Amino acid sequence: MTEGDTSSATEKTQYIGGERVAVLLPLPLASAYDYGVPEGMILSRGDFVDVPLGPRVARGVVWGAGTGVDDGGVAERRLKSVIARPDFPPLPDQSLEFIAWVSRYTMASPGAVLRMVMSVPKAIDPPKPVIAYALAPDPPTFRATPARARVIAVLTGGPPRLLSELAKEAGTGTGVVKGLKDTGVIQTLSLSAPPPPAPNPDQKGPDLSPDQQAAADHLMQAVTAHSFGVHVLDGVPGSGKTEVYFEAIATALRQGKQALVLLPEIALGAQWRKRFEARFGVRSLEWHSDLTRAQRREIWRMVSRGHASVIVGARSALYLPFPDLGLIIADEEHDAAYKQEDGVIYNARDMAVVRAQIGHIPIVLASATPSLETAVNAASGRYDLLHLPERHSGAALPQIDVIDMRIEKLPATRWISGALQDALGNVFAKNEQAMLYLNRRGYAPLTLCRACGHRLQCPNCTAWLVEHRLLGKLQCHHCGFSPPVPEKCPECEVAGKFAACGPGVERLAEEISTLFPDIRYVIAASDTLQSPRAAEELVRAIEDHDVDLIIGTQIVAKGYHFPLLTLVGVVDADLGLSGGDLRAAERTYQLLYQVAGRAGRAAHPGRVMLQTYLPDHPVMTAIAAGDRDQFLSVETEARKAMGMPPFGRLAALIVSGSDEAAVSRAATALGRAAPHMDGVQVFGPAPAPIALLRGRHRRRLLLKARKDIAVQSLLKKWIARTTIPKKVRVQIDVDPYSFM
Ligand code: ADP
Ligand code: ZN
């Protein structure tokens, strides 16, 4: 980055009629295309433009000067011209710089990154005005009827109304209103949608404890200083991290700056939203995949015009065109949901740090279980560490018991140990709440035929079909394929011999019904909580004590705060430890810690029971002893010894296609062309653990490099010297999180 990058709009180079501009289109093209500037048009970098692209018109962004004919640009007679420049604020320089950076780092084309920025290109068109009805200033005389009189009464002294609203309030049909308009008694006005009410930074928040206040002061200073810095907000669940970063947001607001809050999953939003409203007096504006197109257009527009001051959203919110961003928060920064695994493959937490650097602004990484990467950066002093040592309520952290399932000897169709059952009974008797955690959706993860041993498998993926009994279906959790449960075994054709193997949350609910027939439970999984509204309803039901027991997957593991919840039972604490994933132990630790953090967050002390077949595993002993830092330091040493991230670099190549032989050949060719140099190792090609996914065969290669080696240029040259047929795709995953 150079100082000149933040030059103001007035110093921008202008491109006038007859000149050439490079226009970046939101498409995965290798580069920007050149177009001529028509006479009378003046363009600058960042301007949105409509240009011809083959037979259609495409909307893109002026990326810079075009290439002249002498420098190898397209011939004059073949050069097409920009069609129009919509009247809209240009994409801010910082967004342009960010696009270029993400593209270089992830090796996705800049157009693919622009597509994430221009996720709603229609937002750039003028919004449809809203037609409102009001009394005319000099109404003519007209024939009065009771219905007409009611309409006039509603409008007298009130604000203009939408047609449907007005008719409804007057208790009549829209025809009556339209009739009044025809007589000239009522007139129509076209309104533009009003900007949303601004959050009020000065509404009083809770009185902060001295530790909280110190952290808040530090962050507020960082926001005021307008300089880049990464601030790690590390504190146990319930220590008030949210309240603390709210103060930083308030400071950004007082300075007229925008703030962005990233959450790993929007299901987390329900309680967060309430807290925001309590602190700032208005609802937060959200950005996530659950919005309607119209809402997305509206919010995108508000952000780019600077009318939206705080946005809370999932990772895609990072690509909104903020003209004046003053602060970024990445809450639950360790969460793997920040990694986007398709399209442009990137980690939103890491890219958020880059975005903050480009904007010369602070970023807060908040977590009770910082990722190893973040912990290492904090320990080395690259990141600034703010620690909140205790729960705000003073509530003790829960007592954690490890239950050795090897000595429990449960029958094959039971998963709740005697100890956990007793603890549940106690909690219900005291009229408190409990949670059973099992990260498995559906009834059973595997169904097999007892006659021949055949296992029901997805035809499109290397995956078992999961029975969802509530839906009466099987389901592939990778591609969504969901056939009914077959009558007879597709292999041996014997009927009635299917057996469910292992538990999912639905099956656990069945066990609970036998053990505790009277208690009220709810199953909370991504398929039962599909919308933010459903999540909100769940939160309400739990807060109002309409349920005694939550049986949930990882969707309920994080962020929630339920005062009556005093017991958390982790049914299978080992799930996630297998698979040879680089981060398996770290992730399991984080997840178990987060789940445990749900228990005993208020006046009642909490208890956590971990059922495991590996009671001596470092993850279990660290969790039980509450020794996070010991765990982190052991993990850190292990990664260091192996040269693994963050002490080395990884990049994966995923070769895929529907023609298995072609995929295999391409993967072998890549393997042969692999770079040979000091500090670089290439593993594979090998069939991916999910060797078939959505009908595509998959092979993987993994490049491991010393920290000081720029893997991007290495990868670029590597792929360039390999011939890959069109029908085979090679995806590059820099800093992979998934090894499937
Ligand atoms: P974290 O984000 O670290 O999990 P929260 O900010 O969610 O912690 O705080 C947990 C609970 O404690 C919330 O209900 C919050 O409103 C409350 N809380 C935190 N700090 C204070 C405070 N200083 N005064 C009153 N309530 C607080
Ligand atoms: Zn499938």
Ranges of residues in the chain whose predicted pLDDT is under 70: 1-10, 193, 266-269, 392-396, 559, 579-580, 601-602
Q: What is the pLDDT of residue 648?
A: 95
Q: Are 145 and 152 in contact (CB under 8 A)?
A: no
Q: Are residues 322 and 334 in the same domain?
A: yes
335: CA distance to ligand 2 center in Å?
Answer: 25
DSSP 291: S
Q: What is the pLDDT of residue 577?
A: 87
Q: Are residues 432 and 549 in the same domain?
A: yes
Q: Which atom of ligand 1 is nearest to the CA of 275?
A: 16
Domain with 660 in it: 648-734
Q: Which atom of ligand 1 is nearest to the CA of 368?
A: 3
Tell me, rounded to whole angstroms, the distance of Cα 132 from its chain centroid.
Answer: 37
Residue nearest to atom 5 of ligand 1 (CA): 240
Residues with CB under 6 A from ligand 1: 206-209, 212, 235, 237-243, 392, 561
Q: Are residues 509 and 621 in the same domain?
A: yes
Q: What is the pLDDT of residue 464?
A: 94
Q: What is the pLDDT of residue 274?
A: 86
Q: Kindly state whether residue 313 falls inside one of the protein's structural domains.
A: yes
The pLDDT tens digits of the residues spanning 208-239 come to 999 999 999 999 999 999 999 999 999 987 78
Note the pTM of the prediction, 2 decimals.
0.87
Q: Which residues surround ligand 2, an ion (CB under 5 A)?
A: 458, 460-461, 476, 478-479, 481
246: CA distance to ligand 1 center in Å?
Answer: 11
Determine the 3-state secondary structure of 519 from DSSP.
Answer: coil
Q: Which atom of ligand 1 is nearest to the CA of 206?
A: 24
CA distance 385 to 72: 51
Last residue of a domain, one of 596, 617, 637: 637
Helices first, then strands: H and E counts in the chain: 19, 32
CATH number at residue 46: 3.40.1440.60
Q: Which atom of ligand 1 is nearest to the CA of 242?
A: 6
Residue nearest to atom 26 of ligand 1 (CA): 206
Q: Kindly state whether residue 471 falls inside one of the protein's structural domains.
A: no
Q: Are residues 215 and 305 in the same domain?
A: yes
Q: Are 193 and 224 in contact (CB under 8 A)?
A: no
Best substitution site from 333, 392, 560 to test ligand 1's pocket, by max atoms within 8 Å of Cβ? 392
Q: What is the pLDDT of residue 257?
A: 96
Q: Kindly state whether residue 56 falls inside one of the protein's structural domains.
A: yes
User: Can you say whether the dihedral through the CA atoms of 177, 180, 182, 184 is positive or negative?
Assistant: negative
Q: Are residues 215 and 187 in the same domain?
A: no
Radius of gyration, CA atoms only, the chain: 29
Q: Are residues 251 and 381 in the same domain?
A: yes
Q: Kindly state whether residue 462 falls inside one of the protein's structural domains.
A: no
Q: Which atom of ligand 1 is nearest to the CA of 208?
A: 23
Q: Kindly state whether residue 229 falls inside one of the protein's structural domains.
A: yes
Q: Are residues 270 and 182 in the same domain?
A: no
DSSP string of 511-523? HHHHH-TT--EEE
Q: What is the pLDDT of residue 131?
A: 83
Number of domains composing the chain:
5
Q: Are residues 249 and 385 in the same domain?
A: yes
CA distance 434 to 112: 45
Q: What is the pLDDT of residue 459?
A: 93
Q: Are residues 322 and 228 in the same domain?
A: yes
Q: Kindly state whether residue 172 falls inside one of the protein's structural domains.
A: yes
Q: Are residues 359 and 260 in the same domain?
A: yes
337: CA distance to ligand 2 center in Å?
Answer: 21
Give the ranges where 553-679 is alpha helix by DSSP (H): 584-596, 618-625, 628-642, 660-672
CATH number at residue 687: 3.30.70.600
CA distance 346 to 736: 9
CATH number at residue 407: 3.40.50.300
Last residue of a domain, one of 393, 428, 462: 393
Q: Are residues 260 and 355 in the same domain?
A: yes
Q: Kindly state whether residue 301 falls inside one of the protein's structural domains.
A: yes
Q: Kindly state whether residue 199 falls inside one of the protein's structural domains.
A: no
68: CA distance to ligand 2 center in Å?
Answer: 50
Q: What is the pLDDT of residue 596?
A: 85
Q: Are residues 653 and 541 in the same domain?
A: no
